[in-house]
Amino acid sequence: MKMQNDVVPPSTPQVPPQAQFVTIHEEDAGQRIDNYLLRVCKGVPKSHIYRILRSGEVRVNKGRIDQLYRLQEGDMVRIPPVRVAEKSDHSAVPAAEFRIIHEDSHLLVIDKPAGTAVHGGSGVSFGVIEQLRASRPEARFLELVHRLDRDTSGLLLLAKKRSALTNLHEQMRDGLTDKRYLTLVAGDWKNARQHVKLPLHKYTTAEGERRVAVQADGLPSHTVFSLLRKYKDFALLEAELKTGRTHQIRVHLSSSGFAIAGDDKYGDFALNRALLKADATRGALKRMFLHAHQITFMHPETGKNMTLNAPLAAECERFLVSLGKPLNIDGPR
């Protein structure tokens, strides 16, 4: 029962949702308006994004635009009230920095350790990109330029501006970048320099795992392998990518009869098990021996030619030392 002297607080009026007005910065310039909205309005169905574009509820500089409009620096974008999904809890992503090889206002190049995914998905809740974003909350833009397999270590490029991302993607598409990897294969590798051109087909297993196979109707793929050092049972190679297909180096080597040491998808599984423990002839290797050690590209802003290197991962270097003196050291270095 309500007492006579009780004070009933006035009800709080519901404030209707308001439109947002966003100024476009350099990082988002050049992006199509539909792609921009899909990114910033996370949780909003794609169909709803295109509906508000068609209806004219989205305005740029107070004028109507279509979905193909490309944003320019300084544009004022009106985003109408939209219902978005609850924001995911990013506190579960531990902030992390990685060894930096190069950083400027356009680029971040890191040395990714083996065993770390580049992004979340496929059973991995987070990867390099999520951890870097968590450690750099002030960053307006940070995107992967390319990817590395989870078990591959080495150079990974990230763009800090959309213009840099677009430029580097164009360079890669046009074959203007040079990516080189170090890998150790089991067997008696003969040639100082060997071209492998085998078409690759990407498919998904019944368990949902991504795999690649050599197939006549696959995508044209080309890798150049150079012999660096030869050991009794292994050979250290440099792999130069002429195309950039998924698992290209791994499948080209496996299909040529030379498994990468520690490769758990396309490798020699009995050898991998044996490598987990040291024996009288060598140390142990508990990872795949594949390392992105060099990349050459043109800086997206200055146009200057850049070559960056990441030293061979310590665990791989230790394994090489354990193999003893190479049988030959005359290969290209």
Are 199 and 221 a contacting pair, CB within 8 Å? yes
Helices 33-40 and 46-54 meet at what angle, rounded to 10?
130
Beta bridge partners of 215: none
Sequence-separated (6 or more) residues with CB below 8 Å from residue 199: 214, 215, 216, 217, 218, 219, 220, 221
How many CB atoms lie under 10 A from the CB of residue 169? 14
- Biggest alpha carbon–alpha carbon distance for the chain: 100
Residue type, 65: I
User: For 27-177, where are the E strands, in sequence order?
Assistant: 59-60, 63-64, 76-79, 99-103, 107-112, 143-144, 153-159
Name the active-site residue from 111, 149, 151, 268: 149
Nearest CA-CA partner of 305 in 154, 163, 144, 177: 177
Sequence-separated (6 or more) residues with CB below 8 Å from residue 50: 34, 67
Asked if 149 is an active-site residue, the reply is yes
How many CB atoms lie under 10 A from the CB of residue 48? 13
DSSP SS3 for 183: strand
The Cα–Cα gap between 328 and 188 comes to 12
Output the six-digit token pair for 232. Answer: 């009794």
Would you please indicate which residues are annotated as catalytic (active-site) residues? 149
